[in-house]
Amino acid sequence: MDEKQYSDYVKQVTPTTNTFRNVVRAFITGGLICTLGQVIYNLFEYSGMEADTAGSWTTISLILLSVILTGFHLFHPIVKWGGAGALVPVTGFANSVAAPAIEFKNEGQVFGIGCKIFTIAGPVILFGLLTSWVGGIIYLILLRMGVM
């Protein structure tokens, strides 16, 4: 197979995407999740909670809703339609922890759930902590130098 044939083959098997459609769907999905979060927040605040407490309970509620939808296999169709709009908010992170736990539960509590639960979320946690640590060191150095 020469280079031209290979290039034609790659074009043939590579799925095509409609970027504009994907962006619009992600925007709609993310917007609906954020709107739901705002409604939940307003309900908590209306019930008499302080703003910080209402915000925490809103986050917990969205995580719980995401895990429940994942458990009933309803979150995947949302992600399939909305893409990054469903995966970027905290709901996507909750799904990335719950989905492997559900998928590998047949392998047992330790080797299934315990070992596989962070296969997707683990790198996010690791690099989030590493980045915040490096940012903190840079901030400390700039603070000591009198720049900040």
The terminus-to-terminus CA distance of the chain in angstroms comes to 60
User: Once rounded to an integer, what is the mean pLDDT over residues 112-131?
Assistant: 78
Question: Of 11-25, 40-54, 91-105, where does mean pLDDT reach its minimum?
Answer: 91-105
Q: How far is CA 66 from CA 14, 22, 89, 130, in A?
A: 31, 21, 10, 26
Domain count for the chain: 2
Angle at 60 between CA 55 and CA 62, to 5 degrees: 95
Residue 31: predicted pLDDT: 95
Alpha helices in 2-120 (DSSP H): 3-13, 19-46, 51-71, 75-82, 84-87, 90-103, 115-116
pLDDT at 65 over 90: yes
User: Once rounded to an integer, what is the mean pLDDT over residues 111-118?
Assistant: 72
pLDDT at 72 over 90: yes
- pTM surpassing 0.85? no
Phi, psi of 2, deg, nearest 5: -90, 180
Residue 46: predicted pLDDT: 96
pLDDT interval class at 89 (50, 70, 90): confident
In angstroms, rounded to a whole number, what is the distance separating the alpha carbons of residues 48 and 107?
A: 45
Phi, psi of 22, deg, nearest 5: -65, -40
Question: Of 19-33, 57-71, 90-104, 107-121, where does mean pLDDT reach its minimum?
Answer: 107-121
Q: Are residues 61 and 50 in the same domain?
A: yes
User: Which has the closest alpha carbon to 44: 60, 55, 32?
Assistant: 55
Q: Are residues 45 and 101 in the same domain?
A: yes
Residue 54: predicted pLDDT: 97
Report which DSSP code applies to 16: P
Structure tokens at 128: 């989030």
Q: Are residues 101 and 147 in the same domain?
A: no
Q: Are residues 108 and 126 in the same domain?
A: no
User: Once rounded to an integer, what is the mean pLDDT over residues 12-27?
Assistant: 91
Q: Are residues 105 and 137 in the same domain?
A: no
Q: Are residues 28 and 92 in the same domain?
A: yes
Q: What is the mean pLDDT of the chain?
A: 88
Q: Which amino acid is at 77?
A: P
Q: Are residues 128 and 64 in the same domain?
A: no
Q: Are residues 30 and 95 in the same domain?
A: yes
